[in-house]
Amino acid sequence: MDIVFSRLGDNEARFVLEGVSDGFANSFRRAMMSEVPTLAIEDVRIYDNTSVLFDEILASRLGLIPIRTDLSTYRLPSRCECGGAGCPRCYTVYTLSVEGPCMVYSGDLVPRDPAASPVHDRIPILRLFENQKLVLEARAVLGKGKEHSKWQPTIACGYKHYPVITIDDRCDGCGMCVDECPRGRLANGKGKARVIPERLELCLLCRLCEKACKRGGIGSEPAIRVDEERSRYIFNVEGDGSLPVREIIKEALLHLKESTRSLLESLDEIAGGTSDEESE
């Protein structure tokens, strides 16, 4: 059971997850996408909108802007002490006031909490023409991706099995598999194809090399074989900038742990209940 990072930045990570089952790997992926909370604009109060866009479309566009999130500052409204009524711990406010002609960008939103500013300043919201005006107040709350994709902290999040490539003795070094590979992970060695170790993880498991090998007239079985290693996965996680990827990974694992722990507690209650009945 191990995580080995081959790349770890603020917005993207690539790592090998080892020693877990298919179900766990998939749950981990799903948890990263839909169970890690981020901030997104949820309510918009529009004071003046004389632009060409309807209020509803405008609100939808505002919602999709990624916002930098500090999970230690904000809480999910459902878990907040205020009971979701609205307090500084569970929402933050943005104001926007622009007059045309100009383009309205996400950077025109003025946040009450500077730490919760939009990730990018140059996301176009709409274009205002002569004598058009837009004045609004927006409220961002924490939410989860399973409710709406605007709360998803990841853009791309997926995994594949670790590739295992074996080249047997029948390889005559014709080089057809080398030319065919879209990821250039093969090279011609001494009369035989070989795998370039640092490019192995790029393998798409497309098996074009196997087909190319068979086309070379080697018989019904290709000399090169691509297999998947069980219980070893290459994960690729890209964040939208609202949360650093390392935090997405941590929060997802904590969520899985927390759900399991709460199941254990419920099981104890059930077991306690049934043993009480028996003793009566």
The footprint of other proteins (CB under 8 A) covers: 1-5, 8, 15, 17, 20-24, 26-27, 30-31, 34-35, 146, 246, 249-250, 253-254, 256-257, 259-267, 270-271, 274
Q: CB 246 → other proteins: shortest distance, Å?
A: 5
Nearer to other proteins, 91 or 159 (CB): 159
* Short-list 120, 118, 68, CA closest to 96: 118
Angle of CA points 258, 259, 261, to nearest 5°: 65
Q: CB 77 → other proteins: shortest distance, Å?
A: 16
Strand order in the sheet with 110-111: 38-49, 133-143, 91-99, 110-111
Q: CB 25 → other proteins: shortest distance, Å?
A: 9
User: Do 252 and 244 meet the contact criterion of CB atoms below 8 Å apart?
Assistant: no
Nearer to other proteins, 89 or 232 (CB): 232
Nearer to other proteins, 97 or 262 (CB): 262
Residue 138 in tokens: 């927006």
Nearer to other proteins, 34 or 49 (CB): 34
Question: In Å, how far are 14, 64, 165, 197, 245 from 201, measured between CA atoms?
Answer: 10, 33, 11, 8, 20
Q: CB 247 → other proteins: shortest distance, Å?
A: 10
Question: In Å, how far are 21, 51, 179, 227, 266 from 220, measured between CA atoms?
Answer: 33, 66, 20, 17, 56
User: Do 137 and 55 meet the contact criterion of CB atoms below 8 Å apart?
Assistant: no
| Rg, Å, the chain Cα set | 26
User: Do 74 and 90 meet the contact criterion of CB atoms below 8 Å apart?
Assistant: yes
Nearer to other proteins, 23 or 114 (CB): 23
Nearer to other proteins, 170 or 257 (CB): 257
User: Do 132 and 51 meet the contact criterion of CB atoms below 8 Å apart?
Assistant: yes
Q: CB 150 → other proteins: shortest distance, Å?
A: 19
Nearer to other proteins, 113 or 238 (CB): 238
Beta partners for residue 41, in sequence order: 140
Nearer to other proteins, 103 or 263 (CB): 263
Q: CB 35 → other proteins: shortest distance, Å?
A: 6
Q: CB 251 → other proteins: shortest distance, Å?
A: 10
The helix/strand/coil state of 245 is helix
Q: CB 36 → other proteins: shortest distance, Å?
A: 11
Question: In Å, how far are 33, 40, 106, 108, 212 from 120, measured between CA atoms?
Answer: 21, 14, 7, 11, 45
